[in-house]
Amino acid sequence: MNALDTLVAELARLPGIGRKTAQRLVYHLLHHGPERFTSLAGALEAVRDHVQPCGECGQPTEGETCGICSDPRRDRGLVCVVEESSAVGVIERSGAFRGHYVVLGGRLSPLEGIGPDSLRLGLLERRLDTGEVREVILATNSSLEGEATATWLQQQLARRNGVRVSRLARGMPVGGDLEYVDGVTVTHALTAREELR
């Protein structure tokens, strides 16, 4: 395979990028000259060489400990458990959470051979062992596997006395149109309806 085809194939391995889009990206880079190849390759190598999981929460960071874990103003009593580090960004942008995170790095999936050993449960254990944690918020995705992971974690956490376990509320997305919301979500939204007074 020649260099162009290799690059197209390499880009097409990325999610949401098909062969045609990959080709368009390569033509774009070629059009803009060699320095674009250098800067993108350099940025990739910098992340490969300098970014590793934070020793406390597991999200990718450049130092030993990420900015969230090393921020003394954040509440160490609240731990939010997410599947992937992308979820940390989503929750941080909401501005509604000032606690800490644990990034599992996946969710239980027997079909894909992902058991508890594949997840970063050690980080969660270590947090709990400090005795500082008052509440664990299970913020795994609302998929079948995310729900199964949350249920499994809930059972594991039941052994810990004095630690509340909660789950993100499920219901209508704010600004969401009822017409475009699936039946399971509507069922949740109905079951967990909030009384107005």
**How many whole angstroms separate alpha carbon 44 and alpha carbon 192?**
45
| Nearest Cα residue to 131 out of 160, 152, 99 | 160
Q: Which is nearer to a second copy, 26 or 108 (CB)?
A: 26
Phi and psi at 54, nearest 5°, equal -60, 135
Least distance to a second copy from the beta carbon of 106, Å?
8
Q: Which is nearer to a second copy, 90 or 190 (CB)?
A: 90
Least distance to a second copy from the beta carbon of 62, Å?
5
Residues 162/190, Cβ–Cβ less than 8 Å: no
**How many whole angstroms separate alpha carbon 78 and alpha carbon 90?**
17
Least distance to a second copy from the beta carbon of 81, Å?
17
Least distance to a second copy from the beta carbon of 57, Å?
14
Binding site for a second copy (CB under 8 A): 2-4, 6-7, 9-11, 13-17, 21, 23-31, 34, 36-51, 60, 62, 84-86, 89, 105
